[in-house]
Each structure stands twice: as structure tokens, then as C-alpha cells.
């Protein structure tokens, strides 16, 4: 069963291999009552594959997540039950990386606000005469896995200096200096986050981290909602510590009224969690997850 959708190329691949594929959005209650019929489930971020769902899935052999994170799946419990879990960590890396770079350009040249103002009949040439170039600036990456590496490649192509912190990476194979997290915070003109949100640890960027950053830093979050404490980010924007920010992910999605001040801030560029949402990325996600499930179910 596919509960959150899959590109046709993926479902066709599974059907061609002889699998019966049911595409149906289910409520949590419906999922509990229906999952026992299926040998595998493919989800994205909406469906939660909890311990209860896994227990109800008496025939489950595999759980597939079309995307990078698996925080909506109880992976350890699935493993304890002998159920294989897959995701597609590399399929959407290019799309997310390009969006991170796009937010950097958007805030640096006022694309987000000037578009709206010109549509209102304004000509804000004087107001937006203080743009800045990315060339020559230092980009600090917190997390340099699949997505972080794609961001680094593009930043280097823009003649930026790239530094990164990632305790799991020893060599990037690129002209990227690996440093401590504090060094990234202290020395970067732009900071882009590419790390998971771990509930038990809480936000990775709070008032403590903002205090260590350069005055006028640009912060980009196309990683996960919750990685940045939004109340502290808003305060940093209002004080000028953070000059601009680009955000694709939020603590609450869709955002609530309490997040309005951040969404409407004139120095913020926002998108509705669309980092992986390109035709090319979704085709790759569909193909990769389908191939993995076919390999498991047709052994």
C-alpha cells in the first residue's frame, strides 16, 4: 500500500515486477485496520508508521519512506520485528540543495519582497540598492551529508569559501574545510543547515548559537522544522544579528498564527516545505523506493 503518493514511474515499476499496488490515503485509524492486508507500505512524511501500526501489520516485510528522514517511522521497532526499512537519501539531494542556494539569492537581492511590491505598483529601486553578492563570502554548512555536499558543490561554483561541521564526515573530497560547530557559527557569512531534528535533543540553533554568529549573518534552513528555535530566530532578526533568513521547514506545518510574525518578516524568504518537490527528484524517489521494495518482496 502507498499512503502518501508515489510517481507513476515508481508504481509502474512495481506492477511490472508482479506486485499488487494500492494507492490510498488513510487516516491513522484506517491504517491500523487495513495494514494487516499488506506485505509492504510506502509513505512520505504524512503517514506515521508507529509501533502500533507495525504490530497490526502482521504480514509486513518492508517499510519504504520516499524521502530522506525516517522520523515518522519507528525504525528500531521494525528492525526488532524483522521488517526491513528503506528510504531514499540521495534522490532529492540536488533539489533541496538548489532550493537552499535559491533562498540565498532571494534574500541577497530582495527577490521575495521586491516582487510583491512591484505587483502593487511600486518601484522600490532606492530601497533595494544595497544587495550583496555571494561571491567571496564564507558559507558554513552544519551537516555535510548528501544534501550538504550538493550545496557545497554549487557554492564552490559561485566562488564562495565553504567550511563545514559534521562529526560523521572525515573527508568531503572537495575544497571544503571541516571545522568545529563553533567555528562555523563564528566565521560564516551564510549558514545553511542540513541536519535532522532529534526530539530528545531539541533545537540545534537557539539563542546560544545565534550569540556566536557574526552580526548580519544569513541563515538558511531547508533541513527540518524544529532544528531552529523560531522564537530565538525572530529575536535575532529583530536585533539585526541575523540579517536575512530563508526557511523551507517549520516547527508547525502548516504554520500557526503564532508563527505569523516570522512568516511576514520583511527579511525572511519562505517556501512551504518544497525542498524535494521537483519533477526530477520525485521520479528518482519513486524509482529508488520501488526498486528496493521489489528486490525485497520478490526474493
The question of whether 34 is a catalytic residue gets the answer no
The question of whether 165 is a catalytic residue gets the answer no
Q: Give me the catalytic one of 224, 230, 251, 284.
A: 224
The question of whether 253 is a catalytic residue gets the answer yes
Q: Give me the catalytic one of 52, 265, 273, 291.
A: 273
One DSSP character per residue, the chain reads: -BSS---HHHHHHHHHTT----B----HHHHHHHGGG-SEEEE-SSS-B-HHHHHH-TT--EEEESSS--TTB-HHHHHHTT-EEE--TTTTHHHHHHHHHHHHHHHHTTHHHHHHHHHTT---TTTT-----STTPEEEEE--SHHHHHHHHHHHHTT-EEEEE-TT-S--SSSEEE--HHHHHHH-SEEEE-----TTT--SBSHHHHHHSPTTEEEEE-S-TTSB-HHHHHHHHHHTSEEEEEES--SSSS--GGGHHHHT-TTEEE-SS-TT-SHHHHHHHHHHHHHHHHHHHT-
Active site (catalytic) residues: 224, 253, 273
Amino acid at each position: 500500500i502507498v499512503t502518501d503518493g508515489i510517481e507513476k514511474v515508481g508504481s509502474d515499476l512495481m506492477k511490472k515486477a508482479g506486485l499488487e499496488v494500492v494507492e490510498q490515503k488513510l487516516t491513522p485509524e484506517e491504517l491500523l485496520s487495513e495494514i494487516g492486508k499488506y506485505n509492504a507500505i510506502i509513505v512520505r512524511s504524512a503517514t506515521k508508521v508507529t509501533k502500533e501500526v507495525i504490530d497490526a501489520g502482521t504480514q509486513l516485510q518492508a517499510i519504504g519512506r520516499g524521502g530522506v528522514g525516517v522520523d515518522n517511522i519507528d525504525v528500531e521497532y521494525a528492525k526488532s520485528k524483522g521488517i526491513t526499512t528503506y528510504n531514499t537519501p540521495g534522490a532529492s539531494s540536488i533539489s533541496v540543495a538548489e532550493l537552499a542556494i535559491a533562498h540565498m539569492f532571494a534574500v541577497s537581492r530582495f527577490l521575495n519582497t521586491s516582487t510583491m511590491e512591484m505587483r502593487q505598483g511600486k518601484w522600490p529601486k532606492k530601497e533595494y540598492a544595497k544587495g550583496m553578492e555571494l561571491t567571496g563570502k564564507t558559507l558554513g554548512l552544519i551537516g555535510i551529508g548528501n544534501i550538504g555536499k550538493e550545496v557545497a558543490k554549487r557554492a564552490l561554483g559561485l566562488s564562495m569559501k565553504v567550511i563545514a561541521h559534521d562529526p560523521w564526515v572525515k573527508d568531503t573530497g572537495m575544497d571544503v574545510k571541516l571545522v568545529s560547530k563553533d567555528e562555523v557559527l563564528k566565521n560564516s557569512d551564510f549558514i545553511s543547515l542540513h541536519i535532522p531534528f532529534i526530539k530528545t535533543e531539541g533545537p540545534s540553533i537557539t539563542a546560544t548559537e545565534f550569540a556566536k554568529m557574526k552580526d548580519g549573518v544569513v541563515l538558511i534552513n531547508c533541513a527540518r522544522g524544529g532544528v531552529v528555535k523560531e522564537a530565538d530566530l525572530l529575536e535575532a532578526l529583530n536585533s539585526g544579528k541575523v540579517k536575512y533568513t530563508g526557511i523551507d521547514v517549520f516547527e508547525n506545518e502548516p504554520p500557526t498564527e503564532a508563527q505569523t510574525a516570522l512568516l511576514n518578516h520583511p527579511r525572511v524568504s519562505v517556501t512551504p516545505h518544497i525542498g524535494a518537490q521537483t519533477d526530477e527528484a520525485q521520479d528518482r524517489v519513486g524509482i529508488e523506493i520501488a526498486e528496493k521494495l521489489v528486490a525485497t518482496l520478490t526474493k
